[in-house]
Amino acid sequence: MQTRRIGPFEVSCLGMGCMNLNHAYGVPPPPEQAEQVILAALDAGVTLFDTAALYGMGSNEPLVGRVLKPHRRNITLASKGGMAAVKGEDGVARRVIDGRPEAIVRDCENSLRSLQTDVIDVYYLHRWDKKVPIEESVGAISRLVEQGKVRAVGLSEVSAGTIRKAHKVHPIAAVQTEYSLWTRNPEIAVLDACKEIGAAFVAFSPLARGFLCDAVHDVTAFVPNDIRRAMPRFAPDHYTENLKLLPRYKAIAREAGCTPAQLALAWLLHKRADIVPIPGTSKVEHLTENMKAADVKLSPDTMAALEEHVNQRTVHGNRYSQQSRTEVDTEEF
């Protein structure tokens, strides 16, 4: 597989987002199936694996760590802290954003144990806790670098201004934000900020949470714990309008000789050489399909046609609920 750079690491041009294996999109696959997907990614040449303390309310990192432990020297392992599942007095784990230095150290130590490793290659601040100056949160991660527990520092869902502030404290190797044809917010300022400081841009949800691979046909069938139930773009009224984009989009994929999922990933790979998409899936066949996107060639005319057809003007609804929008720092159109 072709490679790209994240800080000091040379990684596969397509990484694997591991969240889907037990978080976010309804009933997770059985553990043995999740393991098969991770191993299939290794076989396909994937060397970048992305997880987080929060995923699966703490269960994703142990899965990823167990399966990847025998292959640790051959991969780049990324995780995130500053947002984790924290048990309250009632014993129930709840999602908490906490960017205080002591919380970040706690999250990192827990992640090291869960991942069964002595160092995390790329450690992201999962969310900027706006009650804590970004300099303090990044300063805590920089001290973890000094201690040899983290190799490179990343940020997630932050604005260009926040990126520059953080970079003054410690070099930022990667910035991770949602980016796809239907979520173009990074084009406002973050992509340019990454280029300015030499950071890679890691694109999560590059398949638009299933939309761009034509996998979501009935939004009323989402199970109660599917996070898309709270996303305005998947609300029935908005989604009815968004579905009108698919016929032309799928026609462009046929013209390009690829599947809709491969088209979405190939578009990102063609945009810039510093972009590393991290699609996630819970099925081996989808993993195999996604990885073949690295071989898809798109002409300038095809790129232009895609961008004209699916963009912030043609997509209906915000990507996040109002509550979630207050928790991120990314620019909005």
Please give the positions annotated as active site: 55
Residue by residue, what is the 3-state secondary structure of 155-214?
Answer: EECCCHHHHHHHHHHCCEEEEEEECECCECHHHCCHHHHHHHHCCEEEEECCCHHHHHHC
Backbone angles phi, psi at 93, to 5 degrees: -80, 130
Give the separation between CA 131 and CA 7, rounded to whole angstroms. 28
Angle between helices 246-256 and 300-309 (to 10 degrees): 170
Query: How far apart are alpha carbons 145 and 167 in whole angstroms?
Result: 14
Evaluated on CA atoms 266, 271, 272, 275, the torsion sign reads negative
C-beta of residue 292 within 8 angstroms of C-beta of residue 267: no
Token pair, residue 266, equals 């190939």
Report yes or no: 121 and 151 within 8 Å, Cβ to Cβ. Answer: yes
